[in-house]
């Protein structure tokens, strides 16, 4: 789950581990060079998978077998989906610095100015603030600069057939990539003959917003009105699709994503506050009764809250009180570190915008 390369996205969510990933992320960095191996060929394993996906997605069996046989093995990809070593400490401040930095903020301002009308329309249509959409696209692909250079068919076939069995959730994750491969084959079947191979991340995420194939099928929209959905080349389609994704996962217009939180150590019950992880589970009164100290705005919040803990290496952790909208951001990528980076990048870009652009999207 990356724009095109990998750094840990540090999923912290216990609740979401049983669900199905919509994206396949790690933080983007410079483009990675893929080393292609041999074609998979017509092995019994390939033939069995082709039959399975052909039946599931009502695709011609001979065509599916041909695509999978022609796909190339990518020997470096299985290593990239392995979790980072447990010895690598999570560090929110270091993670944040990768995204909330001058070059990315400047690119975000340019992106916002170029697509201001589409961002306003998405905000009005879906109720999702422009800065959230800008934050997502900035973290995912550096505003289209890092969309990935792996052939998606090769990457997904490699992960469907050669997923590393040393992964702690190998069976679940391999099933996920088989499913994504099926959705991608449906998209390939709809392409015009002779279309160039689609490229994306090592995990098969594609385009400006890095949608996995199943998310493309469910949530992508034709927001530029040209009669087709193109997340690879249309930033306007990406803007509408990100907003639609957030709305589909329950974004509530006008609700903050999080509030600052402090602690009353004399009555703090941090284990209970952290037990639900980032799933909002506590009313404001219960949250405060367990030793959380909230400011006046947070005390007026009417929905549930979660205590979000972000480690800072050897230093003390950072904490925020996450709302249901914070949880929605983590549906894009199961990581509180990722979610807060998206939120803060969007805020930083908005703060850097000329005043008239800020007020136009506030209407």
CA–CA distance, 146 with 30 (Å, rounded to integer): 7
In the chain, count H helices and then E strands.
17, 6
Find, among 212, 203, 210, the residue nearest to 159 by Cα: 203
**Selected catalytic residue, list 55, 97, 101, 140:** 140
Which backbone phi and psi does 57 adopt, to 5 degrees?
-110, 10
Is 344 a catalytic site residue?
no
Q: Which residues pair with 319 in a beta bridge?
A: 309
CA angle (297, 298, 304) in 5-degree steps: 145
Minimal CA–CA distance to 252: which of 181, 324, 171, 175?
Answer: 324
Asked if 272 and 290 touch (Cβ cutoff 8 Å), the reply is yes
87: number of Cβ within 10 Å = 5
- 313, HSE (Cβ side, Cα atoms, 13 Å): 5
CB 295 within 8 A of CB 347: no
Point out which residues pair with 199 in neighbouring strands.
151
Contacts of 66 (CB under 8 A, 6+ apart): none
Place of tokens 């796909």: 71
Cα 170 from Cα 166, distance rounded (Å): 7
Could you tell me how many residues make up the chain? 363
Active site residues: 140
């Amino acid at each position: 789950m990356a724009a095109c390369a990998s750094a840990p996205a540090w999923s912290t969510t216990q609740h979401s581990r049983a669900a199905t990933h919509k994206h396949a992320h790690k933080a983007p960095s410079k483009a990675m060079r893929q080393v292609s191996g041999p074609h998979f060929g017509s092995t019994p394993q390939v033939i069995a998978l082709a039959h399975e996906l052909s039946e599931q997605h009502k695709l011609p069996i001979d065509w599916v077998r041909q695509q999978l046989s022609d796909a190339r093995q990518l020997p470096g990809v299985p290593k990239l989906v392995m979790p980072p070593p447990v010895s690598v400490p999570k560090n929110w401040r270091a993670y944040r610095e990768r995204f909330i930095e001058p070059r990315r903020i400047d690119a975000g301002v340019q992106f916002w100015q170029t697509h201001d009308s589409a961002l306003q329309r998405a905000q009005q249509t879906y109720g999702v603030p422009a800065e959230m959409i800008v934050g997502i696209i900035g973290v995912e692909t550096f505003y289209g600069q890092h969309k990935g250079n792996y052939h998606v068919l090769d990457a997904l076939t490699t992960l469907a057939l050669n997923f590393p069995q040393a992964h702690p959730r190998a069976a679940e994750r391999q099933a996920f990539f088989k499913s994504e491969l099926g959705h991608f084959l449906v998209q390939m079947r709809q392409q015009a003959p002779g279309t160039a191979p689609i490229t994306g991340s090592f995990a098969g995420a594609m385009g400006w917003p890095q949608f996995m194939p199943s998310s493309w099928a469910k949530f992508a929209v034709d927001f530029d009105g040209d009669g087709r959905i193109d997340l690879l080349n249309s930033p306007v389609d990406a803007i509408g699709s990100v907003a639609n994704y957030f709305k589909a996962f329950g974004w509530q217009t006008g609700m903050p994503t999080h509030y600052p939180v402090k602690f009353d150590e004399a009555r703090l019950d941090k284990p209970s506050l952290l037990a639900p992880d980032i799933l909002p589970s506590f009313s404001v009164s219960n949250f405060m009764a367990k030793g959380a100290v909230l400011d006046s705005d947070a005390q007026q919040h009417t929905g549930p809250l979660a205590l979000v803990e972000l480690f800072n290496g050897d230093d003390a952790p950072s904490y925020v009180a996450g709302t249901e909208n914070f949880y929605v951001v983590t549906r894009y990528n199961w990581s509180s570190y990722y979610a807060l980076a998206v939120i803060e990048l969007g805020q930083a870009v908005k703060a850097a915008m000329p005043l008239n652009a800020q007020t136009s999207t506030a209407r």
